Amino acid sequence: MRDTADADRIQLELQNEELRRAQQEIEESRDRYADLYDFSPVGYVTLDGRGIIREANLTAARALGWTAGFLVGLPLISAVVRGDEIAFLNHMRRLARGEDQVATPLRVARRGRNPRRVLLFSMKAPGVRTPLYRTVITDISELVEALEQREEERLAAVEKQANAARAMAFDLTRDEQRGRRRLGELLHNQLQQLLAAAKLRVSMVHSAVEAADVRHSLAEIVSLLEDSIRASRALTAELTPPILYEGGLTPAVEWLARQMGPAHGLAVSVEADPEAEPGSEEARVMLFACVRELLLNVAKHAGVDAASVWIGLSEGGATKVQVTDEGRGFDPMTVAVGDEEDRLGLHSIQQRLALLGGMMTVDSGPGQGSRVTLQIPRAGTPARAEATPLRKPGSERVRDAADLPAAVQASSDHRIRVVLADDHKMMREGLAAVLRQQADIELVGEAVDGREAVELARRLRPDVVVMDVTMPVLNGIEATRQIVSEMRAVSVIGLSMHEEADMAEAMRAAGAADYLTKDGPSDALAAAIRTCCNSGGPQGKATTGARRRKRSG
């Protein structure tokens, strides 16, 4: 019996030792699990059905800026940044509806620190009666910041490429405008001047010969030259209206408005503030091109036969242009997207304006008409003349009375003293020859640009200055303005290859008494000079400018 009891005791001790070892292993395993749980790189919390924290590891506590013991019993929503609470509530609703796994990104506030972006990943705990949800809280702030930075870099690269493309498109447009202007200037300053000079010479010969057959042949030549001048003039206006560079934006838009009727059946009214002239030629050309595109859009798409253009100043002093119609209207979002639906080219206009610091706004809707507003800052005051030391081919230094032949220098009191300003040598010589044939007119000086014309008028004090409109250094419009303002007794007659009424109006606005085209009748210039001097001074002479006549040149 004793041996049996000893054996049972030994067996029991062995079992107890095994139990102690098992318990120690369990405790060690529990400690290891606790360490793994508390020091895991991600936060773990257990939430009940109301979102109350029932368990939290140290990583979760650190992520929220609290101790683990403090978090237990708190609703997790209290740590969610305002604005993300709805996202958390939707997270809990999805769990309550029985979804197996729910993941939601949101921001959590940390005590004394900046909010962090985290990802909540929850699933229902198995084998429990009361709903419990094991939730992993992963800090994704650095990942999100890296992705955002990468996206910002990508967008910056895309924007850089877009800006480069816009700049290239702008340069191409500007080069196109410069090329069109250059070609137009060549047509006007060379071909048209040569044609007009040839017509003048032929007309002079026609007047001198008596043989009928020769006069008939000369008349046919004159007719051919006139047709050539008209064709060249039409091509020049199509390339780029000269009034845009000589007169400014408003006269150019008024000229455009007159062209829209015959060409597109669109009546355009123009209202303009004379103080709203753009501060640079580049801005002037840009606005004119944009207005032309907008008016063409109205003619093609609006379904109306009338539009209006308003030119003025914004509250900040920028040049502001509005093109308005009461037609079909359109969705302004086509401007924002700039895709294939942008049939009107508005996105392109917006981008081109932006490169000059400008902007475009659109007020429209289907069936509500449209109003497109363009705005460009006025950098400095607009220059009416193009200041450049270069002269056009055929120009030479100014000639005053001291340089002229003795026969021309001799003058009598009753002769009308005239200064002739034209930068084209052949044209100027032809005009001078016409004037020298007039017994009552004395040519006392010749100038090759606007500035020299002003200086010569100051020195010689002539009765009349015959002023070409398009000249280097100082154009004829600004030269006329200076002469009339300084020398009230001196009359100015504008002279140009430009047939447009806008150019005549610009010269008259500057103070010219009359305006003639170079391809008109050969005796018109002498007649205009006499009319100016017989009308009682510049104030009386100005009334003669109400009519527009042609003369040869």
Q: Are residues 53 and 3 in the same domain?
A: no
Residues 459, 144: Cα–Cα separation, whole Å: 78
Specify the CATH number for the domain of residue 535: 3.40.50.2300
Domain contains 59: yes
Co-location of 333 and 375 in the same domain: yes
State whether 290 and 417 are in the same domain. no
Whole-number pLDDT of residue 348 = 80
Do residues 267 and 289 both lie within one domain? yes
Q: Are 514 and 524 in contact (CB under 8 A)?
A: no
pLDDT of residue 387: 36
The angle, 0 to 180 degrees and rounded to 10, between the axes of the packed helices 425-436 and 524-534 is: 60
Give me the residues paired with residue 55 across strands. Answer: 46
Q: What is the DSSP letter of 125?
A: P
Together in a domain, 431 and 349 = no
**What is the domain count for the chain?**
4
Gap between the Cα atoms of 235 and 227, Å rounded? 12
Q: Which domain holds residue 53?
A: 39-139
pLDDT recorded at residue 401: 40
Is the same domain home to 456 and 541? yes
Residues 546 and 414 in one domain: yes
Both 333 and 405 in one domain: the answer is no
**Model pLDDT for residues 319-334, shown as the tens digit of each residue:** 999 999 999 988 877 6
pLDDT in tens, the chain (553 residues): 666 777 777 777 777 777 777 777 666 666 565 556 666 778 889 999 999 999 888 888 877 777 777 888 999 998 899 889 999 999 999 999 999 999 999 998 866 678 888 899 999 988 788 889 999 998 888 898 999 899 999 999 988 887 787 778 777 777 877 887 788 778 877 787 788 888 878 887 887 888 888 888 888 888 888 888 878 877 877 777 777 887 789 988 998 998 898 889 999 999 999 889 998 888 888 899 899 999 999 999 999 999 999 999 998 889 999 999 999 988 877 655 444 444 457 878 888 888 788 899 999 988 899 999 999 998 644 444 343 333 333 344 444 444 444 333 434 457 899 999 998 888 888 888 888 888 899 999 999 999 999 999 999 999 999 999 888 899 999 999 999 999 999 999 998 877 667 778 888 999 999 999 887 776 788 899 999 887 654 444 433 333 333 333 3
Which CATH number fits the domain that encloses residue 304?
A: 3.30.565.10
State residue 37's pLDDT score. Answer: 62
Record the tokens describing residue 302, joined without a space: 């609006």
Q: What whole-number distance in Å separates Cα of residue 350 and Cα of residue 354?
A: 6
* 3/82 same-domain check: no
For residue 306, the SS3 value is strand
